[in-house]
Amino acid sequence: MRYISTRGKSPAQSFEEALLTGLAPDGGLYIPETVPQVSREQMQSWKNLGYAELAFEIISLYTADSMPDDDLREIINETYKMFSHPEVAPMQKLGEKEYVLELFHGPTLAFKDFALQLLGRLLDYFLARRQKHVAILGATSGDTGSAAMEGCRHCEFVDMFILYPHNRVSEVQRRQMTTIQGENVNSLAIEGNFDDCQNIVKKAFADQSFLPDGYQLVAVNSINFSRIMAQIVYYFYAALKFIDEDEAVSFSVPTGNFGDIYAGYLAKKMGLPIDRLIIATNKNDILHRFMSKNQYNLEQLESSLSPSMDIMVSSNFERFLFDLFKGDTQRVESFVTGLDQNIQQVSEQEWQFAKSIFDSCRVDDDTTCATIREVYEKYNYLLDPHTATGVKAARVCDSGSGNPVICLATAHPAKFGEAIAQAGLETPALPEHLSDLLEREERFTVLEASLGAVTDFVKKSL
């Protein structure tokens, strides 16, 4: 399996190279050259597999010829052993044909654990083979930082530096980063906002000459294809439960960066019987603007009750554009790079094609709270604010097909107590493995918002 860039100006790479670089040198994103196909018979034979076994079947299609099966199997088993629920991704039924797929039983209580626990182990595996060290540098406003740190804290060949805005993340989110045990992970509280953090990271990637010889930076945000790959698995895991009834299922996905839902799109391309893919956004609704008006444009960022979906641009949308433009990489590049100045549109025919796969819905904060309350009162089930946007979107976009709809529950409600309180409900307790989070000792370094302050710190630590 080889990986090509959406912008067409970088050579195709192996899985290993795509994992270790993240972003392609031409600025594009890596996508598989051909999407592996899975037959109905194969899916039938997979329907009773446990999560880790199924993950091996699917992931090995993407890593083929990069590593021996036994090594991959061991890494996957280690990864999903870390989850606190025996089913890893259990499903709950709410209403008639309405389900919630719980993706928050990993160490940091958000779905990002599915990919980042695996990514850390894969990185260390390939780096050990090369005897090479890397530094991970990333900016976070929420869940990615802690999931990445938790996924990499045992890595021998990885040092990690996570920037977050000082005094501007929630206490639970901050403590999830600053209390992680591990010599190789560093929490850097930047005296600025999230944009300042992101700008420093971007500049450091653009000029890596500050690093010691032989080192390189690695990106672990959702532009790294290995994260998408890991997320394909739970779409199969959930949908295969319905395969005997010969029913296609729909998925409703709370999304900001188009990462999670792009994994669903790939699952559908692989042959999984998926009816609709529903995009749920909060008031930062660039994807909904595109789906409902054929307008893809920048608007001011607003903070919401579902902060992990607060984005201006959906970086993974570029991967779908590659398909929408039938592999015309020049059009992909001009669409994406022209966004700063223009409102971007696609042809009527292309737009209809997108609408034949995706539905969308924008859910504001009031509606999010109302949905949390409604579901709690009716089913005694507590949704986190991100998941609530997905449940609401599923109800609004109901196509009347009568097919089951599976809403992805992307975070545990205890992580977002403020939204739960705003919905008028009692904040739930943190799960047992995090119950003493508020008493644990914190470790972080406050730095001024400048590139030099961060690169000096990184240099000194390596």
Ligand X SMILES: *Cc1c(COP(=O)(O)O)cnc(C)c1O
Which residues of this chain interact with ligand X, rule CB under 6 A?
A: 110, 112, 143, 222, 254-257, 259-261, 308-309, 386, 410-411
Catalytic residue among 112, 268, 283, 415: 112
For residue 80 the two structure tokens come to: 């999903």
Cβ nearer to ligand X, comparing 58 with 407: 407
Q: How far apart are CA 198 and CA 196, in angstroms?
A: 5
Q: Which is nearer to ligand X, 405 or 447 (CB)?
A: 405
Residue showing the smallest CB distance to ligand X in the complex: 259
Smallest separation, CB 175 to ligand X (Å)? 16
Starting from the edge strand earliest in sequence, which strands make up the sheet with 216-218, in order? 216-218, 134-139, 158-165, 185-191, 445-448
Q: Give me the least distance between CB of 258 and ligand X, in Å please.
A: 6
Q: State the first-to-last Cα distance of the chain, in angstroms, to the nearest integer.
A: 34
Rounded least distance, CB 115 to ligand X, Å:
9
Beta-carbon contacts of 122 under 8 Å, excluding residues fewer than 6 positions away, are 19, 75, 226
Cβ of 334: how many Cβ atoms within 10 Å? 13
Give min distance, CB of 398 to ligand X, in A.
Answer: 21
Work out the angle between the directed axes of helices 112-130 and 69-81 (0-180°, nearest 10). 140
Identify the CA nearest to 152 among candidates 192, 105, 128, 118: 118
DSSP letter for 283, please. S
Q: Which residue lies nearer to ligand X by CB, 243 or 287?
A: 287
CB 62 within 8 A of CB 1: yes
- Is the CB of 66 or the CB of 256 nearer to ligand X? 256
Residue 176 or residue 329: which is nearer to ligand X going by CB? 176
CA dihedral 123, 152, 254, 352 (to 10 degrees): -10
Helix (H) or strand (E) holding 117: helix 112-130
Indicate if 112 belongs to the active site. yes
The one-letter code for the residue type at 384 is D
Cβ neighbours of 300 (radius 10 Å) = 6
Burial class of residue 181 in the structure, from the number of CB atoms within 10 Å of its CB (0-12 exposed, 13-18 middle, 19+ buried) = exposed
**By C-beta, is 127 or 406 nearer to ligand X?**
406
Name the E strands within 38-157: 91-93, 98-102, 134-139
| Least distance CB 139 / ligand X (angstroms) | 14
C-beta of 251 vs 335, nearer to ligand X = 251
Residue 256 CB, nearest approach to ligand X (Å): 4
What number of helices (H) and strands (E) belong to the chain?
18, 13
Q: How far is the CB of 307 from ligand X (least distance, A)?
A: 9
Q: Pull the structure tokens for residue 281.
A: 């956004």
Q: Indicate which residues carry an active-site annotation.
A: 112
